[in-house]
Amino acid sequence: MGEEFYSIIKLISGEEIFSLVCIDENDGDPIIILQNPVVMKPTQGPGGGSFVKIKPWIDLSDEDFFMIKLDKIITMTESRDKKLIEVYDHYLQNDSIDSYVPGGKVKVTDQMGYIGSVEDSRKSLEDIFKGIKES
């Protein structure tokens, strides 16, 4: 087994994938081993911000490792882009997300601790309004 490295791979099917890669040159027929391969698409948000949309290469699989023969690859290049690797690692650590905004910005989720519900706010405002109306 060879050394692991991050790689962008263009397959003969036209797909572009990003993955942690290892090359196994057993028996003279090299096989590329992909660890957690993903498809990344840069997108623009409504406010002009840029995002990276990330999804698993194979949606319905629970596997982390995939093997590809060298004849299925058009080209592959080692990626040393720190931002791209950061996005990939962030996705793997938080696999429930499908987009990542660089610079520490995150989308609001239910687990972030909303202050109250709509019903609680409505009741509070009605109580305030009733108190002002009675005075």
65-86 residue pLDDT tens: 999 999 999 999 999 989 889 8
Which of 62, 79, 112, 56 minimizes the C-alpha distance to 5? 79
Write down the pTM of the prediction: 0.65
Dihedral sign for Cα atoms in the order 85, 58, 9, 100: negative
The pLDDT score that the predictor gives to residue 77 is 94
The pLDDT score that the predictor gives to residue 8 is 95
The pLDDT score that the predictor gives to residue 90 is 85
Give me the half-sphere count of Cα atoms (radius 13 Å) on the Cβ side of residue 96. 4
Looking only at the bridges linking them, the beta strands covering 16-24 and 31-44 are: antiparallel
- CB under 8 Å, gap of 24 or more: what pairs does 45-50 form? 49/101
Structural domain boundaries of the chain? 5-107
What is the topology classification, in CATH, of domain 5-107?
SH3 type barrels. (2.30.30)
The pLDDT score that the predictor gives to residue 102 is 57
For each successive 10 residues of the chain (135 residues), what is the average pLDDT?
Answer: 89 94 84 93 78 87 91 93 88 66 60 71 87 69
The pLDDT score that the predictor gives to residue 112 is 62
Which letter does DSSP use for residue 96 in this model?
A: T
Q: For residue 105, give Cα distances in angstroms to 45, 49, 81, 88, 97.
A: 13, 11, 20, 16, 13
The pLDDT score that the predictor gives to residue 48 is 74
